[in-house]
Amino acid sequence: MPFPKGGIPWNKGIPRTKKTKEKMSETRKQRIASGMIVIWNIGIPCSKKIKENLRIANLGKQHSEKSKQLRREWNLKHNWKPPVNWGADNYNWKDGRKKHKAGYILILQPDHPKASYNYVMEHRLVMEKKIGRYLERWEIVHHINGIKDDNRPENLDLCPNQTEHLAVTKLVEENKQLKKKIKELEKRLQDVRK
């Protein structure tokens, strides 16, 4: 006989025992394994919108002590250990070097006083070694040839502040434009002489 619409189940509000929950869990796992229950959303990737909504919904939230304790118990029960291939043991380890999105090289230096997330820009390290002291945050290291990952000491110049760095950059740009104009004029002169 079907359950009547709007009816209240006889077991509503009665807590299940731990044994009953385990039995229900095992039965569900067996049904999923045998194909009786198909989980429809396995393998379907979340859209960016859904991921963003989840991120926003969880902003500022922290795990409760109870959930932390449950996680620790689960880790102990399942003998979970973090992967041992972190850092230098990882197959993809690049000697603590990585490239910044702006094109600069970052070096792993956790003990450096000016490190950001344990990384320092390589050109700043090279300049510090060259002058024998730590750089101040307002000091700018200029790449003479304009190539951001060319950190040879002879290619680096120290500017005491942002204003001077902008002036140097402007002069370099004007110099490039003048050289380009000279080449164009030389080419025109050769064409005229022919």
pLDDT value, residue 1? 60
Q: What is the pTM of this model?
A: 0.51
- Given a cut of 70, is residue 70 above it in pLDDT? yes
Q: How confident is the model at residue 12 (pLDDT cuts 50, 70, 90)?
A: confident
Lowest mean pLDDT among 28-37, 120-129, 130-139: 28-37
| Beta pairing, strands 156-159 & 140-143 | antiparallel
pLDDT at 123: 96
CA 181 to chain centre: 43
Written as one string, the DSSP assignment of 115-173 is -BTTEEEHHHHHHHHHHTSPPPTT-EEEETTS-TT---GGGEEEESSHHHHHHHHHHHH
Question: What distances in angstroms separate CA 22 from CA 19, 109, 147, one per listed residue?
Answer: 5, 49, 62
H helix or E strand, kind and range, residue 25: helix 18-34
What number of residues does the chain have? 194
Task: Give whole-number Cα distances, 147 to 96, 134, 142, 151, 155, in Å.
Answer: 21, 23, 10, 8, 9
Residues 86-102: tens digit of each pLDDT = 777 777 788 899 999 99
